[in-house]
């Protein structure tokens, strides 16, 4: 496998312009003869399909939910970054680029990140033109807020529902193309396999989630916008249907998977409370603009709180430890996510945690309410406060919120080059599904930016460059041995999963899919989560293997393949998660350094910060699938920093 990042020649700030002026184009009459498949209707997929449809290509778009508007992007709360410098506070493309590279702990590719910063402004223009109701100030101009890892205010937002509003904008644009007939929508349809013909991606096999039937679709190119794989940990902030399988089946068909061990843990989520819990709820990072994070200074106080004898308001000001402000005076409560998450874990592990489990810290708005008044706080965060209250039955205007870190986002994903093309020609990946722009840690409000940059402003160019030659191959039909083989293999996979629980001798040794998923999540969180060591990763490897073996002997899936069957859906996604979990562990074991979200306890500074090893690990790990039972093969893409000066990441 050859990894060619295809970074254009020339100075960093001219690469994208040069690329666009020399790329190949498809003439308007030919565009409608070219078919494109887009998997996913989140920000990346919806924006890509709408833009490609508007150009005149024919697009088939697929999603798991009953409507494109329900893709997981809808849940993003806090905001979207863009280097507009509307606040005149010193922002620029250059600065956004540098912040993103530094935030990613120097593990992202310079050229891609620069392009992201370069097109960020266009995204805001586009969204406003679509009618996205961003927050405004009294003059009618756009308002901004700050997010972690930045010292400027460059985050645009629509209350606490930014993802919803951006997605509804893209969904509107998509709906328009559906009405015009350039885009065909297939809702409740799940991609099950990729069809590769003569080395090129030429189609997909999907399962109709209503009837259970398998269907075939052919195209000149396939674009994967299927989101991230955070749910491998079972409990995460991701939606229930978020999954890694679409990317994983492409990986099985030859697409390299990059940096799987880079997983983001978000510092401000509502803590775990019971065994039946199905997901964790995020409290937006924007809350750290005004909320202050603390735990008691005295262990006795923490213990009393855990026993329910004291409440947060009983702890005097001088007995509170605002540990982020103490440790990181320059960034305070706005340090990047990985730093804030580890600091919370450190305090709780040391015995200062609060809540009944001791696995929580306070996020306190008393100061902000005093300073700004309750009304202003309510205007800014009202819906988040309401959400918190509905879940916990506590009033955050009166009592500090309790929060704890949780799995949130995956920086790793399908390896792509500068054109967002994977190692399979004709297969592109965008949004959270690729590994491209965030290195080892993503800054807040940058995923929405990346998804829309990829879809609105990058793919419409780079995909054309690929498609320009494809006009000569004529219409691709969903037939031939490759389609037959792919469909048969999906059918066999489903049949064999359903057969497992029914073959077993003793039905009482059977378990549901969720039983296994919960167990997998616990192992991954415990041994391959916020802190990892050679030893813990060894345990994880062993435990995952045992669980996987048990799963293939005792999972029980009721019902049939040919009907609406959510248990079967969960089962095939979990089967892929087992393979993916093994790869995450292998990648984490291989990476003998700490960087961004990947913290190896063997590699830390004296005061507990990450310790990178640039000499040996300044590379992207791109893994090649070798078969279900074989360890994967790692390839390296060395990262060359020509423009950025590499320094220790310091937020003090």
Partner 1 sequence: MHFTLHIWRQENARAKGHFETYEIDNISDECSFLEMLDQLNEKLINDHIAHPVCFDNDCREGICGMCGLYINGRPHGNDDGVTTCQLHMRHFHDGDEIWIEPWRAKAFPVIKDLVVDRTAFDKIIQAGGYISATTGGVPDANNILVPKHKADQAMDAAACIGCGACVAACKNASAMLFVGAKVSHLALLPQGRPEAADRVHKMVCKMDELGFGSCTNTYACEAECPKQIKRQNIARLNRQWIGQLFGRDRNN
Ligand X SMILES: Cc1cc2nc3c(=O)[nH]c(=O)nc-3n(C[C@H](O)[C@H](O)[C@H](O)COP(=O)(O)OP(=O)(O)OC[C@H]3O[C@@H](n4cnc5c(N)ncnc54)[C@H](O)[C@@H]3O)c2cc1C
| Window 104-123: residues binding partner 1 (CB under 8 A) | 122
Q: Which residues touch 379 (CB under 8 Å, ≥6 apart)?
A: none
Is residue 176 flagged as an active site residue?
no
The 3-state secondary structure of 232-260, one letter per residue: HHCCCCCCCCCCCHHHHHHHHCCCCEECC
144 contact, one of partner 1, ligand X, none, CB 5-8 Å limit per kind: none
Contact (Cβ atoms closer than 8 angstroms) between residue 290 and residue 365: yes
Tell me which of 69, 288, 337, 591 is the catalytic residue. Answer: 337
Strands 263-269 and 401-410: antiparallel
Q: Quick one: 181 or 329, whose CB is closer to partner 1?
A: 181
- Smallest separation (angstroms) from partner 1 to the CB of 1: 34
Q: Does 409 engage in binding with ligand X (CB under 6 A)?
A: yes
Q: Give residues 455-494 in contact with partner 1 (rule: CB under 8 A).
A: 456-457, 460
29 contact, one of partner 1, ligand X, none, CB 5-8 Å limit per kind: none
Q: Quick one: 278 or 615, whose CB is closer to partner 1?
A: 278
**What SS3 state is found at 37?**
strand
Which of 34, 59, 235, 239 binds partner 1 (CB under 8 A)? It is 239
Q: Quick one: 281 or 533, whose CB is closer to partner 1?
A: 281
589 contact, one of ligand X, partner 1, none, CB 5-8 Å limit per kind: none
Q: Does 165 engage in binding with partner 1 (CB under 8 A)?
A: yes
Distance CA 602, CA 585 (A): 16
Tell me, residue by residue from 44 to 83, as one string, x for binding to partner 1 by CB under 8 A and - for no binding: ---x--xx--x----------xxxxxx-x-xx--------
Q: Does 274 engage in binding with partner 1 (CB under 8 A)?
A: yes
Q: Give residues 285-304 in contact with partner 1 (rule: CB under 8 A).
A: none
Which of 94, 187, 215, 378 binds partner 1 (CB under 8 A)? It is 187
Q: Does 393 engage in binding with partner 1 (CB under 8 A)?
A: yes
CB atoms within 10 A of CB 486: 22
Q: Does 137 engage in binding with partner 1 (CB under 8 A)?
A: yes
Q: Which residues touch 205 (CB under 8 Å, ≥6 apart)?
A: 191, 192, 193, 195, 214, 215, 216, 483, 486, 487, 490
Q: Give residues 125-184 in contact with ligand X (rule: CB under 6 A).
A: 162-163
Which of 26, 59, 178, 246 binds ligand X (CB under 6 A)? It is 246
Q: Does 135 engage in binding with partner 1 (CB under 8 A)?
A: yes
Q: Which residues touch 613 (CB under 8 Å, ≥6 apart)?
A: 592, 593, 603
Q: Quick one: 212 or 358, whose CB is closer to partner 1?
A: 212
Contact (Cβ atoms closer than 8 angstroms) between residue 634 and residue 260: no
Q: Which stretch binds ligand X (CB under 6 A): 27-35, 428-436, 514-522, 543-551?
A: 428-436
- Smallest separation (angstroms) from ligand X to the CB of 272: 16
Q: Which residues of 208-219 are buried (b: 16+ CB within 10 A; e: fewer)?
A: ebeebebbbbbb
Q: Is 66 exposed, middle or buried (0-12, 13-18, 19+ CB in 10 A)?
A: exposed
How distant, in Å, are the alpha carbons of 25, 112, 461 from that of 19? Answer: 12, 12, 9
Q: Quick one: 447 or 583, whose CB is closer to ligand X?
A: 447
Which of 104, 312, 355, 431 binds ligand X (CB under 6 A)? It is 431
Distance CA 111, CA 14 (A): 10
243 contact, one of partner 1, ligand X, none, CB 5-8 Å limit per kind: ligand X
Q: Give residues 280-339 in contact with ligand X (rule: CB under 6 A).
A: 282
**What SS3 state is found at 348?**
helix
**What SS3 state is found at 522?**
helix
> CA triplet 592, 595, 597: central angle to 5 degrees?
115
Binding site for ligand X (CB under 6 A): 39-45, 62-65, 71-73, 75-80, 162-163, 190-191, 225-227, 237-238, 242-243, 245-246, 282, 408-409, 431-433, 445-448, 451
Q: Where in the sequence numbering do the catalytic residues fall?
A: 337
């Amino acid at each position: 496998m050859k990894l060619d990042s295809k970074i254009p020649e020339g100075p960093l700030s001219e690469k994208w312009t040069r690329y666009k002026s020399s790329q190949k184009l498809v003439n308007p009459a030919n565009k409608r003869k070219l078919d494109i498949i887009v998997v996913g209707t989140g920000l990346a997929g919806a924006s890509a399909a709408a833009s490609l449809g508007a150009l005149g290509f024919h697009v088939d778009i697929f999603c798991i939910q009953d409507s494109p508007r329900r893709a997981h992007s809808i849940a993003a709360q806090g905001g979207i970054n863009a280097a507009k410098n509307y606040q005149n506070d010193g922002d620029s493309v250059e600065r956004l680029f540098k912040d993103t590279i530094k935030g990613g702990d120097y593990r992202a590719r310079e050229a891609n990140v620069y392009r992201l910063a370069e097109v960020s402004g266009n995204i805001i223009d586009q969204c406003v033109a679509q009618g996205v109701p961003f927050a405004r100030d009294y003059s009618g101009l756009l308002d901004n807020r700050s997010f972690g890892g930045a010292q400027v205010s460059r985050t645009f937002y629509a209350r606490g529902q930014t993802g919803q509003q951006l997605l509804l904008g893209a969904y509107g644009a998509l709906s328009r193309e559906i009405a015009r007939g350039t885009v065909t929508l297939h809702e409740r349809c799940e991609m099950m396999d990729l069809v590769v013909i003569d080395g090129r991606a030429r189609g997909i096999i999907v399962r109709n989630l209503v009837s259970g039937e398998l269907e075939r679709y052919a195209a000149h190119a396939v674009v994967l916008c299927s989101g991230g794989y955070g749910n491998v940990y079972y409990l995460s902030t991701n939606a229930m249907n978020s999954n890694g399988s679409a990317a994983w089946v492409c990986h099985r068909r030859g697409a390299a998977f990059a940096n799987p061990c880079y997983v983001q843990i978000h510092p401000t989520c509502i803590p775990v409370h019971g065994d039946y819990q199905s997901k964790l709820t995020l409290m937006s990072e924007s809350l750290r603009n005004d909320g202050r994070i603390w735990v008691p200074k005295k262990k006795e106080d923490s213990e009393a709180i855990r026993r329910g004898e004291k409440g947060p308001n009983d702890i005097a000001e001088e007995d509170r430890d605002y540990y982020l402000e103490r440790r990181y005076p320059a960034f305070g409560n706005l340090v990047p996510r990985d730093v804030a998450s580890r600091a919370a874990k450190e305090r709780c592990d040391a015995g200062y945690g609060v809540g009944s489990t001791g696995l929580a810290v306070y996020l306190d708005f008393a100061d902000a309410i005093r300073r700004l008044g309750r009304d202003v706080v309510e205007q800014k965060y009202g819906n988040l406060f309401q959400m918190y209250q509905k879940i916990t039955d506590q009033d955050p205007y009166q009592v500090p919120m309790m929060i704890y870190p949780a799995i949130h986002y995956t920086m790793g994903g399908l390896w792509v080059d500068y054109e967002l093309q994977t190692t399979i020609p004709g297969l592109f990946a965008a949004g959270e599904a690729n590994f491209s722009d965030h290195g080892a840690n993503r800054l807040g409000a940058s995923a929405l930016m990346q998804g829309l940059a990829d879809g609105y402003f990058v793919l419409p160019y780079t995909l054309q460059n690929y498609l320009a030659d494809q006009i000569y191959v004529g219409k691709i039909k969903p037939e031939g041995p490759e389609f037959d083989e792919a469909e048969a293999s999906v059918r066999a996979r489903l049949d064999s999963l359903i057969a497992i629980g029914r073959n077993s001798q003793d039905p009482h040794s059977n378990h549901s899919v969720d039983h296994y998923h919960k167990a997998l999540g616990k192992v991954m969180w415990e041994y391959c989560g916020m802190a990892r060591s050679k030893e813990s990763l060894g345990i994880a490897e062993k435990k995952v293997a045992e669980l996987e073996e048990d799963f293939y002997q005792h999972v029980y899936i009721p019902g049939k393949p040919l009907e609406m069957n959510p248990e079967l859906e969960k089962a095939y996604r979990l089967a892929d998660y087992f393979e993916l979990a093994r790869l995450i562990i292998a990648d984490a074991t291989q990476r003998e350094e700490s960087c961004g979200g990947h913290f190896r306890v063997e590699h830390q500074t004296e005061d507990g910060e990450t310790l990178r090893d640039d000499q040996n690990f300044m590379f992207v790990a791109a893994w090649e699938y070798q078969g279900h039972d074989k360890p994967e093969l790692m390839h390296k893409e060395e990262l060359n920093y020509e423009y950025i000066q590499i320094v220790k990441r310091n937020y003090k």
